[in-house]
Structure 1
């Protein structure tokens, strides 16, 4: 574990209101079900594929600043439909003297502990179905920045309130949307210890596309990839645009919300699958997907 100064500027502020929901099961989408639980005290939504398959890898979504977990329902369902258990916590913590939903690195280790417990929880819909050894990271904006710090195996001050973090061996890869590591015009090198994909809307008015491009060039280790989604803005993976009380987007998407969610989730899910050893997914993200998907342009090193 290394300690490092934070390097991303994202708006901060607001009010605490954490709710803890009792476990319940409901259909979230065709082939996908969902239930509510808690992960180390954080209220969380869990999406998973229906059926009897076991050894399902987990994907943790680190939310954007002040974006409620419910806003990732469509994105999480699209990831789950690709064969993942998707965990979306509401993580409240103190930032600039206010409590709000701000992701933190310790959520990664919390989720690893949750995976192990859930696998052997006979009351869980995931009993003996979820993997305890395969975790992928997904993140949006501030949450992606927290994920970048985790991917470096650093305790980055803004994202590491526990003042200690070690990247668990269960974490295999990461995909972050609308994320960069710009701080006061500076882009630090990112010594990523796991494969990292950046997914960036080309009309993002909050996290500029140019900043994502710079961040990509500072990823030191392969595999690394940047996927540019034409016509998507900063809230291309949330259920609605500018979900209150998060910062409002000033640029309009030319893609429909459903289309931007689908494209971003498809590329993120397949990247994680590729790094988990899925040959078909690897062929798509590194060879055939760019040419077959008119909504994206892709640069990467496998």
Structure 2
């Protein structure tokens, strides 16, 4: 195991771990994705739907289900999930509920935007940077509204980002504090919020598709994880590696999930409306969602909550070798 500094995340050793593990079972076996020794803190997640006041987005809110929710002195950080282009929020329900069980309030909005190429056409589902301030504002409202299911249990000072595909690119540009209008990730100037501590993105990279130039990510110590299917035919694995190399400061991690294509994160392969991945996943869907959600949640817990067990799971060589489905490179 790595020798971890006693002050934990405040002064962390710089160490790189790379591990490739042998498959313990054939891909597609429905056994546990990660041979979990760090299970979620809660057995179930609840969900309700609300409207984000600042932009009228309809959003699903996932949160830990606990019998003592209002009396147990809970404080759950906010996690915003930025959807892939043209993908309805409902397709992320299994993933979002799994992440929420690790002790987060996960917000999954449907955000519609006018087409920049055809302004007269109906708006389409696509994430953008303006959602972040809108969600932070709404969560402050939910936290103080006595009729809200999550009243008084939201930690409004801690924000994490999740994202898929185009939504992941939006999240990466936010962490870089860049308004990339030319990539359609941003329509108006914004400032990266001080509450933002970490992000974990699946099937995402940050590059100019016209010039194929990868964009530097000056993350100023905000933790970034890229989770990537090794047979992703939309966001190619080598693009994730190039983006990982341009994240300027640790902590950062690149996790490759074996047998996963671009839609291993969604409830179904090639969900309605999305540009399909030509590659058929070989990883069982439930196993894939569990694997992606576990890496996402533990990375956020390690870097948002200074959770030592989650940190060990991400950065300990012993933990990595217990995972039969993934390859991970992590710089702490």
TM-score, shorter chain, exceeding 0.5: yes
Aligned to 2:217: 190
Q: Give the superposition deviation at 1:117.
A: 1.1
Say whether residues 1:90 and 2:110 are aligned partners. yes
Q: Distance in 2 between matches of 1:263 and 1:237?
A: 9
Match of 2:311 among 270, 276, 282: 282
Aligned to 2:326: 296
Stretches of structure 2 that go unaligned for 5 or more consecutive residues are 1-41
Corresponding residue SS for 1:176: strand
Say whether residues 1:159 and 2:221 are aligned partners. no
1:64-143 superposed matches below 5 A:
64-95=84-115, 96-97=117-118, 98=121, 99-143=123-167
Query: Which digits, 9 at most, give the CA deviation of each residue in 1:161-197, with x for residues without a partner?
Result: 1x21111111110000000113232112211231110
Contact 2:173 2:206 in 1 (8 A): no
Aligned to 2:200: 175
Q: Distance in 1 between matches of 2:196 and 2:204?
A: 19
Aligned to 1:37: 50
Aligned to 1:236: 264
Q: Return the structure number with greater strand share.
A: 1
Aligned to 2:19: none
Q: Which has the bigger relative contact order, CA under 8 A and spacing at least 6? A: 2
Aligned to 2:25: none
Q: Distance in 2 between matches of 1:36 and 1:30?
A: 21
Aligned to 1:47: 62
Say whether residues 1:210 and 2:238 are aligned partners. yes
Contact 2:314 2:330 in 1 (8 A): no
Aligned to 2:77: 57
Query: Which digits, 9 at most, give the CA deviation of each residue in 1:235-264, with x for residues without a partner?
Result: 010000101111011101110111110000
Q: Give the superposition deviation at 1:30.
A: 5.0
Q: Give the superposition deviation at 1:38.
A: 1.2
Corresponding residue SS for 1:192: coil
Q: Give the superposition deviation at 1:221.
A: 1.1
Query: Which digits, 9 at most, give the CA deviation of each residue in 1:77-118, with x for residues without a partner?
Result: 100111111100000001322421100001111111112111
Corresponding residue SS for 2:99: helix
Match of 2:282 among 245, 248, 254: 254
Corresponding residue SS for 1:155: coil
Q: Distance in 2 between matches of 1:114 and 1:235?
A: 29
Q: Give the superposition deviation at 1:214.
A: 0.9
Q: Give the superposition deviation at 1:160.
A: 1.3
Query: Which digits, 9 at most, give the CA deviation of each residue in 1:175-234, with x for residues without a partner?
Result: 000001132321122112311100000000111001111111111111111000011000
Q: Distance in 2 between matches of 1:289 and 1:87?
A: 29
Q: Which is higher, the Rg of structure 1 or of structure 2?
A: 2
Q: Distance in 2 between matches of 1:186 and 1:290?
A: 32
Task: Tell me the TM-score normalised to structure 2 length.
Answer: 0.80
Q: Distance in 2 between matches of 1:81 and 1:45?
A: 15
Stretches of structure 1 that go unaligned for 5 or more consecutive residues are 1-28
How many positions carry a matched residue from both structures? Answer: 273
Q: Against the structure 1 CA distance between its residues 182 and 153, is the aligned structure 2 distance closer, same or farther, given a 3 Å change threshold? A: closer
Query: Which digits, 9 at most, give the CA deviation of each residue in 1:38-93, with x for residues without a partner?
Result: 11310000111011241111111000010000000000010011111110000000
